[in-house]
Each structure stands twice: as structure tokens, then as C-alpha cells.
């Protein structure tokens, strides 16, 4: 089977191309810029993705498209008009790709979305499920929600199978941003005032996400379905930090500060978003993935964290 992976040089894309190649698929990847080095996929350079992107050559003879390329959420966005930019790249360009995929005879379109379409937080013990009414907050989540709507509507009209995957935070070797900063803080022995945080967060390792996407490429029951995915084991922030310390061979230096005090300081410092990520709960239920696809995460959470903490990206 020939699979086109957009965003093939990204954190998820690189790992996915490797896994699809290992499973015997013919893999083609799109790149924003030419990449030197050895890749396990055929390269197509698209430049920046927008409504003018020409996909025809990349789509030739492709059976399945896995659309990963996107403008990702950033904490401090410096774009002049981030709302329109998110919409142009994540929504409008996705719709054009679906249209051109149908013209090229693609059979299935897989779209990697985000749990942020469901919302930002959950009550402990009440995880998001696929049938929940979407409650996206912010330009990034709205653009992914609108793209999901476009994928479902247009793929159905054009006769393609569609599959949408909503993922929480993804971690693994080479992870960047906040997760990398947290690993670095634990390794350096920086004291963290999070011992009292007893929330619940769903995460997914790169290995488990890639396995799930690769499963959806071929599984007949994945057609015209939307799935929430995770490692299947939720942790509090304090448990996560202690586990990072354990797999890193370090002693996590946590000390207790009441959560309501942390929230007050976060508000005063303009760090409400950081507080939410560290102290609020966000859980997903992967029961549908288990029931429909008989999928279980192949890598245990602690083993995946050990890889993220101790291994370099391939």
C-alpha cells in the first residue's frame, strides 16, 4: 500500500514514516524544505502549506493520506493575525488536500487532530469520549475542529474513507517545549512546588501514537470513525514528575504548596495556561479504540517515559 505522510520531517512524521516502512508500506513524505540525510520515504517538497499548495504530484498513486502537517499551538504567538493563519493552514489547506486526494483516487484520509477540540479540562473520573459535544478554546483548537468538520463532510461527499484521531500531549525521544523543560528540571534537581497536585492527565507516547495511526491505515473498522487515544494510564503531575525522576535515576525534588495558592501566583504572573497544564485534569477514554479496533497501547507508560528521558531522537 502506498501511504502519503504530510509533515514527514516532524516529531510524529519521522517516526510514522519509519514504522510504515517497517510494516512493508511504500511511504512518501511531504517536507516544507529539502532535507539532507537518509529517509525511509520518498521526498516531496511542498514549501509552506496554504491554499496554493500543489499536491497533485505527491498524491499520484497514493492509497492512504495521513495528514500530520499543521500550524501547532504555541504559548506566545508572535504572528500578526494568528487566528487567520491557523485557519488558513489547519483548516482551509486541509480541505483542499481532501479535495485533491479525491481527484487522485485516494481511498482513505487520516487526520491527526487534538483533544483540545473536546476542551481544555475534565473533572477527575469523567474523561472525554468521542460523542462529547466539542468545546474548542482558542484559534488553534477552533482551526482543528473546523478542519475535522471539513474532512468528514468532504470525504463523505467525494467517496473517501475518513478517520480522525484526537491526541493529547505526545512525548518521546526528542520531545521539545514544556515536556522537555520538565524533564530538564527534574534532571537538574530543581525543586518544584507540585507535590500537592493530585490531578489526572492523559498522555500518549510517540510509539503508541504511531502504532495507532499505522493501525488505522489498514484496519477496515477505522473507516469513517473518530478516535481518542492515549497511553491508557493516567497520572497526576506529581506522579509524572516522580516517574521521570525514577527512570532518569534522579530523586525528584517536590515540595507541597496548596493548589489554590499556586493558582493565585499563576494569575498574578500571567501564567494561567501553565497552571492549567500542570494542575488541572485532562483525561480521555480510549474504550472506543479498544472495542472497535481491538487496539491496546503496545508500550507501557513507564517504559515510554524511560525512552523519552534517556534516548535521543532518531
List alpha helices for the chain, DSSP H. Answer: 11-22, 56-59, 82-86, 93-104, 138-158, 177-187, 206-218, 237-248, 259-268, 272-279, 287-293, 301-310
Whole-angstrom CA distances from 295 to 126, 299, 304 are: 21, 12, 17
66 is written with which cell numbers? 495521513
Q: Are 165 and 175 in contact (CB under 8 A)?
A: no
Q: Is 111 one of the catalytic residues? A: no
Q: Are 281 and 119 in contact (CB under 8 A)?
A: no
Task: Count Cβ neighbours within 10 Å for each residue of 211-240 and write b for 16 or more, e otherwise.
Answer: bbbbbbbebeebeebbbbbbbbebbbbbeb
155 is written with which cell numbers? 470525504
Q: Are 203 and 168 in contact (CB under 8 A)?
A: yes
Helices and strands, counts by H and E, the chain: 12, 9
Q: Are 241 and 252 in contact (CB under 8 A)?
A: yes
* Greatest alpha-carbon span in the chain: 58
**Which residues are catalytically annotated?**
140
Amino acid at each position: 500500500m502506498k501511504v502519503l505522510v504530510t509533515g514527514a520531517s516532524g516529531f510524529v512524521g519521522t517516526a510514522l514514516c519509519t514504522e510504515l516502512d517497517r510494516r512493508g508500506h511504500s511511504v512518501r513524505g511531504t517536507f516544507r524544505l529539502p532535507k539532507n540525510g537518509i529517509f525511509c520515504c520518498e521526498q516531496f517538497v511542498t514549501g509552506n502549506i496554504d491554499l496554493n499548495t500543489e499536491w497533485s504530484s505527491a498524491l499520484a498513486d497514493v492509497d492512504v493520506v495521513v495528514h500530520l502537517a499543521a500550524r501547532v499551538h504555541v504559548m506566545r504567538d508572535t504572528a500578526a493575525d494568528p487566528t487567520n493563519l491557523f485557519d488558513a493552514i489547519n483548516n482551509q489547506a486541509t480541505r483542499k488536500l481532501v479535495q485533491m486526494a479525491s481527484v487522485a483516487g485516494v481511498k482513505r484520509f487520516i487526520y491527526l487532530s487534538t483533544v483540545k477540540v473536546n476542551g481544555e479540562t475534565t473533572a477527575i473520573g469523567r474523561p472525554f469520549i468521542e460523542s462529547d459535544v466539542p468545546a474548542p478554546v482558542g484559534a488553534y483548537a477552533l482551526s482543528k475542529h473546523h478542519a475535522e468538520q471539513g474532512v468528514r463532510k468532504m470525504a463523505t461527499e467525494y467517496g473517501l474513507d475518513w478517520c480522525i484521531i484526537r491526541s493529547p500531549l505526545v512525548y518521546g525521544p526528542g520531545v521539545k517545549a514544556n515536556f522537555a523543560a520538565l524533564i530538564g528540571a527534574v534532571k537538574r534537581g530543581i525543586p518544584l512546588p507540585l507535590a500537592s497536585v493530585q490531578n489526572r492527565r492523559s498522555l500518549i507516547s510517540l510509539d503508541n501514537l504511531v502504532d495507532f495511526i499505522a493501525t488505522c491505515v489498514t484496519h477496515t473498522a477505522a473507516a469513517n470513525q473518530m478516535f481518542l487515544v492515549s497511553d491508557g494510564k493516567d497520572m497526576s503531575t506529581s506522579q509524572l514528575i516522580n516517574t521521570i525522576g525514577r527512570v532518569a535515576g534522579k530523586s525528584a525534588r517536590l515540595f507541597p504548596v496548596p493548589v489554590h495558592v499556586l493558582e493565585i501566583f499563576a494569575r498574578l504572573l500571567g501564567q494561567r495556561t501553565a497552571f492549567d497544564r500542570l494542575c488541572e485534569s485532562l483525561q480521555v477514554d480510549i474504550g472506543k479504540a479498544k472495542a472497535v479496533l481491538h487496539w491496546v497501547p503496545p508500550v507501557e507508560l513507564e517504559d515510554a517515559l524511560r525512552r523519552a528521558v534517556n534516548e535521543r531522537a532518531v
